[in-house]
Each structure stands twice: as C-alpha cells, then as structure tokens.
Amino acid sequence: MVMKCKFTKYCGGCKNVNDDYSLTLESKQKYINEVFEDICVPNRVVANYYPYKYRNKLQLAFTELKGKTLVGFFEEGSIRVADIDGCILNGDYSFVVIKIIREYMSRFKIRPYAFGSGILRYLHARCIDNKIQLTLCVTTDNFAGRNWLLDKLQENFDEVSLYLNINRRTDRAIFDNQFKFVGGTKYLNFEMCGVKVSIEPASFLQVNLKIAEKMYKSALENLKLKDTTTVVDLYSGIGITSIMFSKKCKNVIAIEENKRAVGNAIQMAKLNSVHNINFYVGKCEENLDKLTQMDDIVVFVDPARNGLEKSVIQKILLLKPRKIVYMSCNPETCVRDIKLLLSDNNYQVSDITPYDMFAFANHIEILTVLDRM
C-alpha cells in the first residue's frame, strides 16, 4: 500500500514521502556503499516492513497568521509553520492530537506564540501502543483548560501522561529545563527487547522502535556475551541497551554524560530488577580512565552525530576489548572513527549493516562490528 501526503510541497517534515519506497532504499544503499568503500562491502539496507506510521515522536510548532492559528512542522529551511492535519509517517495518533489541540486552543482562547507574545510554542508527544505522553511547551502556566485537555486525551488514548514545559527561551529549542506534571500517568510505560521501559518527556528514545529493536538485538547477538563478560556501554542514555545486555553477561559499565538520563536509567534498572549495572555520570573519556584491564570485555558505543572523540577511541583501544559494536546515526563520522579503531592493526571489521530508521528521510543508521584479531 502506497500512501500519499498532501502537505509535502511545503512541509519540511520529510523530503520524499511520495516517492517509491524501494527507490529511496536504493539511493541509501548507494550512498552507504560509497562511504564505506575503503573498509568493506556493507550488507543490504534493513528496510521497514511498512514504511508509514512508524514515528512514535511528534513535534509541532504553532504560530499565528492574519488571525489564523497554524499548527504543524516548519517549512524546509524556514521559520514559517506549514499548517497540517496530521502526518502519515507518524500515523493516526497525529491526526487525533492535532484535532484535539485545535479544539482546545479555540475553546479556551489559547494564543499561539508569535512575534514575542502568546502562550503555546510547541507540542511534543510520544505515542506507543496507543499510550501517549504529551507536553505543551508554553511561555507561562497561567492558562485555562488543562483538565479538559486531559479528559479529551483520555477519551482517545488508553493511557495519558500530560506535562507542561515552561519555555521562555529566545531560540527555537523545544524544551527548557522546567517541566510540570499535569495529570494522568507520570511516565510513558512500554516494553522493548524484553526491557520494561519507563520514560519522561525529556528522555531520548529512537523514533522507530521496530527498527531500533532489530539493531539492539543484532548488537546483542554480535557481542557474543558470556557469563564472564563485562560490557562497557558508552553513551548509554536511559539504559535500554545496558539492561538488555545485563541479562546475558557478568556485568555492565554504563557511561552517560546526561545526568537526567542516568537518573532515568537507574529507575529503569530497579523496575527490571537488574543489579549488575554500574552507572557512571560524565564524559566517556574521563570515566574510561577509571576502568582497569579485564580478561573478557566488549564495548558498545552509540554516540551522537559528531561521533567519537579521538581520546575516547584511544581509551577504548587500551581496554583491548574482544568485540566493538558501533551504532551510528552518521555514516561519515562512523567511517572516520572505524578507520581510527583499525589503525593499530588489532581489529578487523566483520559486519556493516545499514538500517532504514528514518523511512523517506535523508538519514540512515549503521551497525558496525569489529573483532579483535
């Protein structure tokens, strides 16, 4: 089934949603082959079984034009808001949310933020298994109708978590630091890879859980864990991979710079009755200095788009892990880092697999496996 988007001419949410999906995969495969041609031939792109309705995260902007409220995504390369009814990549829940929020703003006269005045700036929502966590990013908490909004959401979703984020910033950041819980359940709860997950609005989560699960399970399989293995999980985030690994190994050392994410991870470890993870808060290069040489150690890394610092690469190599699995959202920084990991001639690449995490967008994820020779 091919779906068509009527907003694609002016919406900046994606590039080529109305193209043939197989052609987008061919384009991504060609790109990946070119990027990694000096290392080895990558596997075929792991595709989405159904490339629509996969995004669990929805971020909407608001503005006002000639007295009309506009709700949608930013137009490409612009601060203008493309007024939409919903998104076929997000799916049915996006149409429901936009309909409810329009009614809410009209009923309670909630003005969108425009030209330095107004209340509602952004809406951030995650929807998984018909459970929704919705955050209104506002300039003040002095406005009406929140109980009506909560009730309306609860009429349409099985579980609702409603928050405010007070955002008076002058830039386009979605969140500032101040969150206020409004009602419903405090966390968005679901399960993936056998891990009970419980997240707050600011938690990082992959937008395509089906592809993320495939990547995480492949990472687990390729690490070849034993009951003697220590896993070093770098950039461990809210701890989903750490908890998954912990069930198959001796212990996990999870390193993450974001203090809030580590707090979330510790809470989730308790939820999953896991006791063999040591959580470290801070930069990877600083915390790697605290580790001693171990007989059976493997490393999993999942850095941001800018990849690994050279100092982190050097310290990974000093640990002499028997396996390194590198999950990347930026093939170009990934290939740069892989070449540095190969530079001491102690490792070889055994697998490179691209995953179409973002169907119809110009992004692709990579999972690379390195074995110590």
What are the residue numbers of the active site? 329
Q: How far is CA 199 from CA 27, 190, 239, 253, 373, in A?
A: 35, 9, 11, 21, 39
Question: Are 174 and 161 in contact, with CB atoms under 8 Å apart?
Answer: no
Q: Is 314 exposed, middle or buried (0-12, 13-18, 19+ CB in 10 A)?
A: middle
Question: What is the C-alpha to C-alpha distance for residues 140 and 169, in angstroms, rounded to an integer?
Answer: 12
Q: In this structure, are residues 104 and 182 in contact, taking their beta carbons and an 8 Å threshold? A: no
| Cα–Cα distance, 254 to 280 (Å, whole number) | 6
Other CB atoms within 10 A of residue 348 CB:
13
Alpha carbons 329 and 366: distance in angstroms, whole number: 6
CA-wise closest residue to 138 among 103, 109, 163, 106: 163
Taking alpha carbons only, the member of 104, 93, 86 closest to residue 149 is 104
- Which DSSP string corresponds to 345-369? SSEEEEEEEEE-SSTTSS--EEEEE
Per-residue CA distances from 229 to 121, 174, 185, 194, 323 (Å): 48, 40, 37, 20, 11
CA distances from 347 to 80, 99, 143, 216, 299 (A): 49, 54, 59, 22, 13
Are 82 and 72 in contact by the 8 Å Cβ rule? The answer is yes
Is residue 348 within 8 Å of 369, Cβ to Cβ?
A: no
Beta bridge partners of residue 242, listed in sequence order = none
